[in-house]
């Protein structure tokens, strides 16, 4: 066989091995979300019997939503005023989260307006 062809095959083989090693050494993507200071939550369910023909389907108040959202935060975090909205097709209280010393909203916690369970 021609020495030139053998040299090209060897170079290609080295390139394939190098590419394989490169991808094998890369850290896998971390698709998990770590939540610190998470406590067990119990959904708040209010008695809705004898409520008919009401247009307001909210059973959790803004104050209660903020209280529930505080279970998902750590030190140095400030919760803003909850806003009733729709998130992922569910009516929720959107509770803005900001770091202490800054009034800029950096994230939001969504609390189901009917059940009080966090919507992620």
Mean pLDDT for the chain overall = 77
Asked if 74 contacts 109 with a C-beta cutoff of 8 angstroms, the reply is: no
Q: Which residue has the higher pLDDT, 67 or 49?
A: 67
The range of the structural domain enclosing residue 74 comes to 58-119
Q: How confident is the model at residue 68, as a pLDDT?
A: 92
Tokens 């119990």 correspond to what residue? 42
Q: Which residue has the higher pLDDT, 43 or 19?
A: 19
Q: Is the pLDDT of residue 9 over 80?
A: yes
Tally of domains in the chain: 1
Give domain status of residue 48, yes or no. no
Give domain status of residue 10, yes or no. no
Give domain status of residue 68, yes or no. yes
Give domain status of residue 31, yes or no. no
For residues 34-48, average pLDDT: 54
Q: Please give the structure tokens belonging to residue 88.
A: 């992922």
Q: Please give the structure tokens belonging to residue 75.
A: 């030190």
Confidence grade of residue 91 (pLDDT, cut at 50, 70, 90): very high
């Amino acid at each position: 066989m021609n020495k030139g062809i053998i040299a090209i095959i060897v170079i290609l083989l080295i390139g394939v091995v190098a590419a394989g090693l490169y991808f094998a050494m890369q850290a896998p993507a971390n698709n998990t979300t770590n939540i610190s200071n998470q406590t067990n939550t119990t959904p708040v369910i209010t008695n809705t019997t004898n409520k008919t023909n009401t247009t307001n389907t909210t059973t959790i108040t803004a104050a209660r939503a903020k209280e529930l959202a505080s279970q998902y935060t750590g030190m140095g975090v400030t919760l803003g005023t909850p806003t009733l909205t729709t998130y992922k097709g569910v009516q929720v209280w959107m509770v803005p989260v900001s770091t202490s010393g800054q009034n800029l909203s950096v994230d939001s916690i969504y609390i189901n307006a009917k059940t009080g369970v966090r919507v992620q």
